[in-house]
Amino acid sequence: MDLLARVKAELHRGQAGFLTIELATCSRDAGLASTMYKGGNRKGADQKTADAENGYVTVLRFLSDPQCAKHLTIKAAQEFKEKLGVLRHTLDGLQRFQKERLPE
């Protein structure tokens, strides 16, 4: 394999790694937000929810861009989309917490 092919292969593996880390970070932030809402820490929870939403949008944008997503295997793309769906469900639940007027 020549150098250019090796660099491209590593870049493509890096994209999958980025998505894995980004989704894990978003899930962690969403979990923290849920705990904070339940504990009455609205300000901290709102920030963690916003962080998770921003990460969600980043991953969604990446997966929706054919130029970016074409380097993922079909199986990997499906797995990321499934994880993204679970995260969306969690974020929708957090929005319900946000709508409840907890004291700050």
Quick: pLDDT tens for 34-63: 999 999 999 999 999 999 999 999 999 989
Full domain range(s) for residue 18: 3-99
Q: Whole-angstrom Cα distance, residue 66 to residue 47?
A: 31
Structure confidence at residue 81 as a pLDDT band (50, 70, 90): very high
Residue 59 lies in a domain: yes
The answer to whether residue 12 scores a pLDDT higher than 90 is no
Residue 104 lies in a domain: no
Question: In 3D, which of 99, 104, 101, 91 has the Cα closest to residue 27?
Answer: 91
Domains in the chain, number: 1
The answer to whether residue 6 scores a pLDDT higher than 70 is no
Q: Whole-angstrom Cα distance, residue 82 to residue 99?
A: 26
CB within 8 A of 49, min separation 6: which ones?
29, 30, 33, 91, 94, 95, 97, 98
Residue 62 lies in a domain: yes
pTM of the model: 0.81
Residue 34 lies in a domain: yes
Residue with tokens 């989704």: 23
CB within 8 A of 65, min separation 6: which ones?
none
